[in-house]
Structure 1
């Protein structure tokens, strides 16, 4: 099944523009015309990416953002916040934006793809930070050489193996996201030619 991208924007033109800029077949684009409808879709659909306008009727983009951040599962979803007035976003959320990517309206294909890539990278980075694993990827050798102290004793080999397994799993997830992103970029480049 194609990845689901949810575009929450009260302007039909923006929703259609995003749909047309994304490669056909790789994505299923879901649309919501207000924050309440968008938030309900987030709760009931398994979306791969959320594109959220900041100024919306019924429930503002700010309110949707707060609800996403308050839910440990929802905040793992890559998020792109869109607005024609960045100062309205920075008024509520100071830069640098670490939990989402900002996309200034109006935007072109290149800017859209760059924002999606960045949002996915931030989500992957955030996901690795949010896990219980206290070891960063690439630190496996150091962990094996200097076992983590637990209650005054060295970590058992089973604990190290469990941590290493988590690292491998997280790296596989990151590699999968990178691969998907590369496929999207390649497809878009082919369509632009």
Structure 2
């Protein structure tokens, strides 16, 4: 039903019949927007939400999220309001409300910051290892640049000494 409410546009809608399939699609397709029902079979919407939170901190970016449920109190039991980095829409809803929720979720995702600062504080895992490798590569480049700076300073000192001797 939600797919039919979306405006016409140049985008592809991927659908999952349960939370498990949804997580697989999210990991493989890296979508630009996620619309998540809180009540799902196999892996619940709450569990999917927790995985998305972990992925966001590991990747250092937040995918816009619209969380949907007919039972808002069930959502607020687990996630306190105000919903800072995703948008909640209560079922049933109209097309206009859905479009507004999508726009709001995109704006909220832009304001998101990783927990603990940088992505290097993310839990251990494949993405965290990738981040660690990037950090190590940057540190190696910095060490090389520092060595070049030190060599230039030494050359400048030698040139300065040479000029001073010639001026005597």
The two structures have a TM-score, normalised by structure 1, of 0.56
1:26 equivalenced with 2:10 (yes/no): yes
1:119 equivalenced with 2:100 (yes/no): no
The separation in 2 between residues aligned to 1:48 and 1:69, in whole angstroms, is: 15
1:42 equivalenced with 2:59 (yes/no): no
* Matched residue, 1:61: 45
The separation in 1 between residues aligned to 2:107 and 2:115, in whole angstroms, is: 12
The separation in 1 between residues aligned to 2:40 and 2:60, in whole angstroms, is: 19
The separation in 1 between residues aligned to 2:45 and 2:104, in whole angstroms, is: 19
In the TM superposition, residue 75 of structure 1 has moved relative to its aligned partner by: 5.5
The question of whether the paired residues in 1 share the 8 Å contact of 2:61 and 2:114 is answered with no
The separation in 1 between residues aligned to 2:69 and 2:60, in whole angstroms, is: 21
Q: Which has the higher contact order (CA 8 A, sep 6+)?
A: 2
The separation in 1 between residues aligned to 2:5 and 2:60, in whole angstroms, is: 25
1:102 equivalenced with 2:102 (yes/no): no
The question of whether the paired residues in 2 share the 8 Å contact of 1:35 and 1:59 is answered with yes
RMSD between aligned residues: 2.1
The separation in 2 between residues aligned to 1:75 and 1:84, in whole angstroms, is: 28
The separation in 1 between residues aligned to 2:114 and 2:101, in whole angstroms, is: 20
Answer 1 or 2: which has greater strand percent: 1
| Counterpart mapping for 1:38-187 below 5 A | 38-71=22-55, 72=57, 73=59, 76-127=62-113
The separation in 2 between residues aligned to 1:90 and 1:130, in whole angstroms, is: 24
The separation in 2 between residues aligned to 1:70 and 1:128, in whole angstroms, is: 10
**Structure 2: 5+ residue stretches without partners:** 119-168
In the TM superposition, residue 102 of structure 1 has moved relative to its aligned partner by: 0.2
Answer 1 or 2: which has greater helix percent: 2
Residue-by-residue CA offset, 1:101-156 (whole Å, 9 max, x unaligned): 00101111110011001100100111599976xxxxxxxxxxxxxxxxxxxxxxxx
**Structure 1: 5+ residue stretches without partners:** 1-16, 133-193
